[in-house]
Structure formats: structure tokens, C-alpha cells
Structure 1
């Protein structure tokens, strides 16, 4: 009986030790797995710090503790799901992290004083979770009120609006156009322009055309004003734009002339080659100009190629029929003052009537100085009446004290009063008050 009881006692002790050894092996193996993950985090290139074991607070939205290996997804750039850091957690200092890592490299701490082995304690019961087992986020998943308040949502764009101001902050294209100096307030009222701009992508549709305009010769500080006047060039085909520039080059327009024409007439490159050729042919035939004079005419006033031809035809008819100028006189006047072709018919006839019928100036003198048709009517009238008051209104070049039209119109008031009228500026101003 005694031997049987001793045998039973020894068997129980052996069974208990066997269970302790099994538990020890299991915990050592699992601890090794945890340390491999910890080493991976320390070896990553991200500037991260390990949290102390007691302060891990990675939790899924279900509230359960998450395996530390999911930290790798966060720091190494892998895709993570349903993870959130607790606001109460704070990263440890460099010394704390190093001490913890050094401690975890020791599996068994031996105390020589007591002569027994102590197992390292695990403060967190870590459950192994494979990376592939992380559930994907759901669009219908409920979130807490605090998480909802942290979501930054942009205000929705209005489906319709009377101004582009509502879209500037949300549209990269409109923002960059404003920085270039484009006046959106002048564009939003024009038909179809606002919708066109909202559909354009800056890098795909606008950038290449801006570089093209710079190559043509449009200066940087003029790009904003250019696009404000002609936003439709942003929808023109690049190949067509290049063909039109090549056409102007084939007509012997210099690079400086093309830059001047495109800058002063923004719609020039929207015209097809056929239309540009017809316009050049019209002025050459209608005015009897040679190629060089035609080129100089449209270079000085490029809107002749883009504007309506009706005012031009009307002014030519008025000069020939109503005012009585000959073709060679008209040719000389319009090549000297191209604006005469687009000037107001009323202004031209009123000036001619006063110059010819009141002041007695013949056609050939007006042809010699056509700039008189650019002057203001009241300026000519006041100066003529002042000269007439002084008895010096003499416009015949064959007579003494002759006063030419250029001096009458082009000189400043103080020069006119002293050198031409032989008076003073105060006398002229006093005379104007009597009119």
C-alpha cells in the first residue's frame, strides 16, 4: 500500500511538471513569433517608435484587441482596414523603446541568487491573426459619433449657378486660370463659355495651348487678358493652330509680326487658313495694294483680319462716293491710318464736312495728313475758332502764316498757343469759356 501510494504521488508530480513544460514551450514559441514581428517593425524604414507592451491600444471597430503584426500594415505602407489608434496612447521615448527591445531579446531571465528560472510575463493576451484574414471595410458599417465628426467632407457643388465663383475652389482648372489673370466675371456671362471651362482639364487641354501661345510670341503677362477675350482657343485643335501659324509664315510674316498680330487680335488663330487667305485677298484687291503693303496694313491693324467686313466696305464707299476721294488718295490714307477703315461713318463724315466746308481745306491736304481723321472734333473746332478770333486761321500753303493740319491737331495746348496762335494758354482757356 505504501509503495502504491508513493507511486501514485510520483505520477501526479510528473503529470504536473509535464503540463508546466508544455505550457512553457507554448509560451516560448509564441513569444518568439511576437519578437519576430517586433524586429520587423524596428527594421522598417519608416520613422516609427514601438509602444510599450502595456500601452498597446490597437483595436478593431468591434472592440477586440488586434494582433500587433497589423502595425506592419500601417508603417510599411500596406493596406489596413478597421484600425484606429487610441488618443490616450503616447509614443515612448527612445530609451524606453530600446530597453524594451533589449529585454524582449532574452527569453529566460535567470536569477543566480535563488537558483530558479523565471518566465517573462506577457501583459497582453495576443491572438494570432493572419494578414489575409482582416475583413474589408463595408460602406454600410456603422461608425461612432466621434469618428463621424473627424471626417472632412467638401461641400457639394451646386448643380446650377449663375457665377463661376461657386466652382473655383473645387476646380483646379478655374483656380489656375485665375492665377494666370483670367477675369472669370467677364466669361461667365458669355454663352456656353462657363460650361466649356468646367469641362476642361488644365494639364490635358490648357497647358499645351499656353505653351504654344508663348512660342508664338504672346508675353506671359498678356496670357490672362488673351484668354479673357478668347477662351475658345482652349478648345481649338492643336494641329489646326499650328497650321495657321505656318500659313502666316508662308506669307512672309516675320516672327515679330505674327506675335503682334496674335496678341492684338486674339481671335486670329481661330480663323481657318481659307478664311485668312480670303481676308488678305480682299484688302489687296479692294485697295489695289501690293503684297508688302497688304502685309504691313494687317500687321499694324490685325483686327482687319478678324472683324466684320461690313464697316470696311461701308467706309470705302463713303470715301469714294460721299467724300469724293480718289482711289489712290484712299490707298494712301488707309495705309497711313489703317483705323480709317474701321472708324465710325458718322465721325468721318462730320470731320470731313467741318474741315472741307468750314475751314476750306482741300482733299489733297487731308490726303497728305490723314491723321486728322483720328482727332477729336471739338479739339479741331475750338482751335480753329481761336485762330479765327486772332485772325490767324490760314491753311493755304501758298499764303503767308500758313498753319498745317499736323500742327493744328497734334501739338499740345501750350505749344499751340505760344508757337502757332502767338498767344497764351490763359487766353485760349478764357476764349473756350465763351463758346
Structure 2
């Protein structure tokens, strides 16, 4: 992988001064953030410009570009999600935007392809969390046979990915696909336990946060909706311990074949798998709280943090929990701005081949776009910023 260089002083100075000083400069974008449509047909968006920043691309050099053209993804699920109104007076939830008509933007081929995918969802292979690897171009030919502009662009995108990776593994799409793809890649490439997982304070995190923020009592776990955080804080602690245990065990395996087999086994254990996702969600909440407080205290925070809290549905961590994190895995997946939050929570750089952006400077996007040099890198593939698969065979744990 080409190693991008850091931002130069001149580049940093060219970022709008007002934006760097206060998040109110991006507050005007909150309406667009709350109602932006993710294009199911991969057509180019016409959303309002939200902010500009320097995004690392495949060239290895920072370029000035629109940082996020459509931050709110998984829109089908998000628009159908009835936002939770918390009992606490510390925050308020906001109604979700109305669902818009999408079929007018899709051609017959794409509509038929979606029907095929729905039928495949009932097959035993598709129900696997991570399907066996398949040649990337063979997968592409199977999925994109038509001659529409969309199909041609997808094939070009897959051809570019095939220059770096030999195979692809399809990820189960149940609103946890971003978590599943990222965690699977991180574990399958891990050679050591991350420092933040070694911290003794990790297991005390649920109790400590609950003592500070009463509204966290409304945290919701998968298949345990309605239980209050005060009743399940010990379960979150167990999930965090499980994450540390599995990460340590897999990272200590030296043989690559055995390591891969261990990952496959873990992601076939549904109870453990979903427990790990709940741990990731809680780590994201903790990271969001830290970023929010840092900004309030005048400390410098990444631009995505301002965009995260500029949304009408997440103007503070409480709303973020009620209207977004509580719904992940239930009625919606990760939105694009939340991919940044996941990366910061894991202290991993998430590199994504965005196939529908082929031939643009957003074809390869990094979350975060200004990664730490010592953060490991995982690589994902998406056709629409909603569902993620993983490239394999040539993937190695590298540093930016």
C-alpha cells in the first residue's frame, strides 16, 4: 500500500479558520445531515456542501475535497426507524425524516438484482456471518452482468480492487455488517493486543459512565430491549472482557491458517459474535462522550466530531445514543460519519473501496481521514456505503 504523507503546515492553514475554531460553523449543515439520502442506485448525489478537509486518497497525497457528500447512510433503515424519546430531561430525541421514493432512481436491472439478493438471504451460505472466500472478479461477474452505467462502473471498481486483493468474502447483512467486516479484518490480521484493550480501566467503563451520566440507563442491548442500563451494566462489562480475551487469544496465534480458522470459528458463534458488537457500540459511546467534552473544554477535536454533533438527531452524546447507537443492529446500520467514530474507538484506520465512487477522488476513503501513523489498517469494500464486504488473500496488517 502506498504510504500517504502527513499534512503539511500550509495544508493545515488552508482549512477554514472559522471551522477549526468552533463547530457552529458547520451547524448549518445539521439539516442536510439529518435528511440526506443514500443513493441506492449509486447515482451521484446533489447534497449540500457540508465541510472541506483533506482526505487521504490512493495517490498517497492529501487532497482538498468535500469531506462527506452524504454522511447519513443506511437510509432505508434509518428513515423507517422510530426514534426513541428518552425519559431523561437531559436530552431530547428528534423525529426522523420521511421516507422518500427511491424506485424512480433505479433501473429494472438493479431492482431485479435486489430481489435476487433478498431470495439469497434465505440460503444457508448467505446466513454465514462471513462467507468463504471467492475470486473477486468471479464474484463481480456474478453480481454485475448488465450493461448499465452502474454495472460498468462497478466492474471497473472491482477490477481496481483485484489489483491489490485476490479474493472477497461476503459479509452477512443484518445491520451489523460494518462492525462485522471491520472486526473480522482486525482480528484476522492482529499480531498484538491493542494498548486500550490492556487498560485496567476498561472493565470499569460501564460503571464509571453510568455514575456520571444518568441517561445511559436507557442503553439498549440486542434482544434485551427495554432493560435499563442499571440492570445490565455487568453484562456490558462481560462483553468488554470477552472482546479483550478473544483479541488476545487470536493475536497470539502465529500460524496464519490457524489464525484464520480461529476467526471463522468465532464468527460462527452467534452469541459471542453479537456480544462483541455490543462492546464496540459501547466503546463508540465512550469515544463520543470524550470528543464532545474535549470540544466543550476548548480542546482540539477532529472535524468529523463536529459533523457528528451537528446533526439534528445527535446534537449531544445522549441523543447519539438514543437515536443512533441504540438502533444499530436493530433497525439500522452505521452511517458514514459513524464510521469515523468506530475507527477512533478501535484506534484503527478503516480503508474503504467505495465502488460506486470509482474514477473519483473518493474511490478510496480513509476513516479517519487524518489517521495516526501507528494505527493498523483494515480494508473493506462497499458498493453503496450501506453494506460492507472484505477483500482477502493479499490483506496484511500495515501502518499508514
- Answer 1 or 2: higher relative contact order, Cα 8 Å, separation at least 6: 2
**What is the TM-score when the length of structure 1 is the normalising length?**
0.18
Higher percent of residues as helix: 1
Bigger Cα Rg: 1
**What is the TM-score when the length of structure 2 is the normalising length?**
0.19
Higher percent of residues as strand: 2
